[in-house]
Chains A and B, each alone.
Chain A
Amino acid sequence: MKKSVSYVVFILAVIFIVLGVYRDEVVELFTKAIYICLECVGIG
């Protein structure tokens, strides 16, 4: 039972990643990650 749940979650995770890439979420993430995040540094 648990084994099948793990495989279902694994497949869902891969589908989510593909869907996220399709929705251009990676671009949003990348844009945030390549500039200094002032909030993270504590000055934003």
Chain B
Amino acid sequence: MDRKRAFTQLITTLLYNANLKGFVEGRIYQGTSKNICVPGLNCYSCPGAIASCPIGSLQAVVNNPRYKFSFYVVGLLALFGVILGRFICGWLCPFGWFQDLLNKLPSRKLEWTKRLRNLRFLKYIILALFVLILPTFFVSSPTFCQYICPAGTLGASFPLLATNAPLRALIGLNFYWKLFLLIIITVLSIVIYRPFCYGVCPLGAIYSVFNKISFYQLRVNKEKCISCQKCLKVCKFNIYAAYDCQSLECIRCGSCVSSCPTEALSMGFRNKAKDENKKLTK
């Protein structure tokens, strides 16, 4: 499952950033596919990006006093969310993959203990404040992108500044602030699993709301479950999947499914997963 997921993350990152010549020229893609948002967090100012970032797009539309609310982006996010939920975070997000890779580096690892788990609420505050309230009512800039987003620093700032001298001349205090945040996230990602997804990402906050109703689900067959807690032991977010398979924090990585000795856990689109469970109980 891990290899399959890593391969999917690699392909997704390449597909989102298929404009490879942009990295060489230091220019961003201007084709019509930028009318559409990708489901994962991928800055539209990344030279490779061939489509738009949903969080950047949401702020761009609400920044305009003519709109104040984006039916288009909210509709797209709801569509992605109701189909896949946080499967997107686990499998289809380049910045999630970046954190996964960092966490593979050898080091002493921290766990998401009960106390640390309270950090999960922070992402809802960031979503409300930096993505919705400030850009809609108080400032005319995408505040999340401007002051927080490390995906923008990694995917857009570095390749653009490396190839574009006039942009380099404009570097100021805010760039160093964002660089500092990226370094913090990078270091934390080595020692604890996906700190950005768990505590900061507004996109994760949005998709978490859909985790309970999405068509794609993690399911547990209670008759097969022997309460061995293996799913809890392998879950990097400390979720006891057998009892909380619809957890808002579950990114559907599938570790619990692979580790289950009785195949009580399954993942898939709702009916398919249900049928699988029925088959198993027969």
Contact = CB atoms under 8 A, between A and B. Distances in A.
Interface of A: 2-3, 5-6, 9-10, 12-21, 23, 25-26, 28-30, 32-44
B73 A42 contact: no
A28 B212 CA distance: 32
Contacts of B175: 41-43
Contacts of B153: 42
A29 B156 contact: no
Interface of B: 28-30, 32, 34-35, 37, 43-45, 52, 56-57, 60-61, 64, 66-67, 70-76, 78-79, 81-83, 141-142, 145-146, 149, 152-153, 156-157, 160-161, 167, 170-172, 174-175, 177-179, 210, 212-215, 270
B152 A9 contact: no
A16 B74 contact: yes
Contacts of B64: 28
Majority-rule SS of A interface residues: helix
B126 to A, nearest CB: 16
Contacts, number: 149
Contacts of A17: 71-72, 75-76, 79
A39 B44 CA distance: 12
Contact of A20 (B73, B146, B172, B178): B73
Nearest to A22: B71
Contacts of A34: 28-30, 34
A19 B91 CA distance: 29
In the A-B complex, the 9 residue pairs with the closest CB atoms: A20-B72, A16-B75, A17-B75, A13-B78, A20-B71, A32-B60, A39-B146, A42-B175, A40-B152
Nearest to B29: A34
Nearest to A31: B60
B211 to A, nearest CB: 12
B71 A39 contact: no
Nearest to B171: A43
Given A23-B71, A26-B72, A32-B57, A40 B156 contact: yes
